[in-house]
Amino acid sequence: MREAIKKGLEEALDTDPNVLIMGEDIGEYGGAYAVTDGFLSKFGPERIKDTPISEATFIGTGIGAAAAGLRPVIELMSISFSLVGFDQIVNMAANIRYMSGGQIDVPMVIRAPTGAGVQLAATHSQSFETWLAEVPGIFCVCPSNPKDALGLLRSSIKNNNPVIFAEPALLYGLKGDVPDEYYEIPLGSASISQEGNDISLVSYGAGMKILHETSEILAKENISCEIIDLRSLSPIDYDTIGESVKKTNRLVAVDTARKNGGIMAEVVANVQESFNDWLDGPIVRIGADDVPWPYNKNLEAEAYPSSEKISEKILKTLI
């Protein structure tokens, strides 16, 4: 997945002279997760800009550059650090196009590792894509595999609005096939990761691996699972979710972020409003425990949702 993201960035830098990248240690060091390794020597310091440790400053700089006609890609070392730049992201980037009556676009992408599961402790394991997805004027996506990461990144860089591109830190080493032919994945489109008939499972990002493991456990009970990958958290593709619910009549929604305030709260509420007549049982919602993320590996795993916890709850609640 790391290489897929790198391919998308390199491709954009090669083909569009307005694209530049800014962030901490993205140049000589090659990025905290090695995504921009080699970019400085290839593209030079005018387009690969190492910044001071001041997210508010370089996010604000990116907004100004975007409003002036460039297409900056901002890399944060962690989505946890977006807090320092929330005023720039939420008040400025998201609202400039609206407040200018469509006269000023802000075509920028903010890339950031997100999520727990890699022992980075409480202040580096947050999943603030769940907060940022609530902000009108911003697109928010989170890929779960290399193919989607490349397709979504291509669309994000070409979009004339700010895009939060949340990259699950747990998945940088995930391997998967990526087509040689050029393709893009539209923002706001979910995908059916696996066809099934008995129950619909929905998540995004790092949650997808857990859902496929859950499906294998339930298959032993002769339960056929359909798996939905949201991919886009704002906007959410309720058409795809709704069609799946009409097919299976049951829904399980899983957040790898904390359950309280997670994306799945919104999914569950909207499905309940729009597709309630198709449901044959209560919606099951599962998320991480509402605690600060522990550094200790065993404690972190205990707070994190697992296929065992999910399948156990499904069997108790729905079957």
Confidence of residue 217 (pLDDT cuts 50, 70, 90): very high
Does 148 lie in the same domain as 87?
yes
Does 198 lie in the same domain as 162?
no
34 part of a folded domain: yes
E strand segments, the chain: 19-23, 48-50, 71-75, 109-114, 139-141, 163-168, 191-194, 199-203, 225-229, 232-234, 251-258, 284-288
The count of other CB atoms within 10 Å of the CB of residue 281 is 12
Per the structure, the complete domain to which residue 77 belongs is given by: 2-171
Q: Is the pLDDT of residue 48 over 80?
A: yes
Q: Last residue of a domain, which of 115, 140, 171?
A: 171
Does 49 lie in the same domain as 166?
yes
Query: Could you read off the pLDDT of 23-35 as tens digits, one per residue?
Result: 999 999 989 899 9
Find the mean pLDDT for residues 129-157: 97
Does 94 lie in the same domain as 211?
no
According to the model, what pLDDT value does residue 319 have?
Answer: 63
213 part of a folded domain: yes
Give the number of C-alpha atoms closer than 13 A to the C-alpha of residue 182, restricted to the C-beta side. Answer: 5
CATH number at residue 199: 3.40.50.920
Query: Could you read off the pLDDT of 85-118 as tens digits, one per residue?
Result: 999 999 999 999 999 999 999 999 999 999 998 8
Which member of 24, 75, 124, 129 is catalytic? 124
Question: CA 312 → CA 220, 225, 260, 280, distances in Å?
Answer: 13, 15, 21, 19
Q: Is the pLDDT of residue 299 over 70?
A: yes
Q: Please, which residues bridge with residue 201 across strands?
A: 227, 252
Cis peptide before 107 (omega within 30 of 0): no
Does 121 lie in the same domain as 201?
no
Q: Is the pLDDT of residue 302 over 90?
A: yes
Q: What percent of the chain has pLDDT over 90?
A: 96
CATH number at residue 142: 3.40.50.970
Question: CA 205 → CA 6, 90, 276, distances in Å?
Answer: 18, 23, 26
The count of other CB atoms within 10 Å of the CB of residue 91 is 11
Does 209 lie in the same domain as 152?
no
- Joined tokens for residue 81: 């650090």
* 71-75 and 251-258 strand pairing: unpaired
197 part of a folded domain: yes
Does 88 lie in the same domain as 26?
yes
157 part of a folded domain: yes
Among candidate residues 135, 142, 130, the one with its CA nearest the CA of residue 263:
130
The CA angle 61-123-89, to the nearest 5 degrees, is 25
176 part of a folded domain: no
For the chain, the 3-state helix, strand and coil shares in percent, each to the nearest 5, are 40, 20, 40
Q: Last residue of a domain, which of 171, 202, 230?
A: 171
186 part of a folded domain: no
According to the model, what pLDDT value does residue 318 have?
Answer: 72
Q: Last residue of a domain, which of 137, 171, 205?
A: 171
According to the model, what pLDDT value does residue 117 have?
Answer: 87
Does 226 lie in the same domain as 167?
no
Find the mean pLDDT for residues 259-275: 95
Which member of 24, 55, 226, 300 is catalytic? 55
According to the model, what pLDDT value does residue 198 have?
Answer: 95
227 part of a folded domain: yes
15 part of a folded domain: yes
pTM: 0.96
Among candidate residues 112, 108, 96, the one with its CA nearest the CA of residue 157:
108
Does 155 lie in the same domain as 258?
no
* 139-141 and 232-234 strand pairing: antiparallel
243 in active site: no
- Four-CA torsion 284, 132, 52, 40, nearest 10 degrees: 80
Q: Is the pLDDT of residue 119 over 70?
A: yes
C-alpha to C-alpha distance for 145 and 114, rounded to whole angstroms: 14
- Joined tokens for residue 44: 């030079």
3 in active site: no
Q: Is the pLDDT of residue 227 over 70?
A: yes
Among candidate residues 312, 314, 305, the one with its CA nearest the CA of residue 127:
305
CA Rg value for the chain:
20
Find the mean pLDDT for residues 247-262: 95
Does 146 lie in the same domain as 212?
no
Query: Could you read off the pLDDT of 149-183 as tens digits, one per residue?
Result: 999 999 999 999 999 999 999 999 999 999 999 99
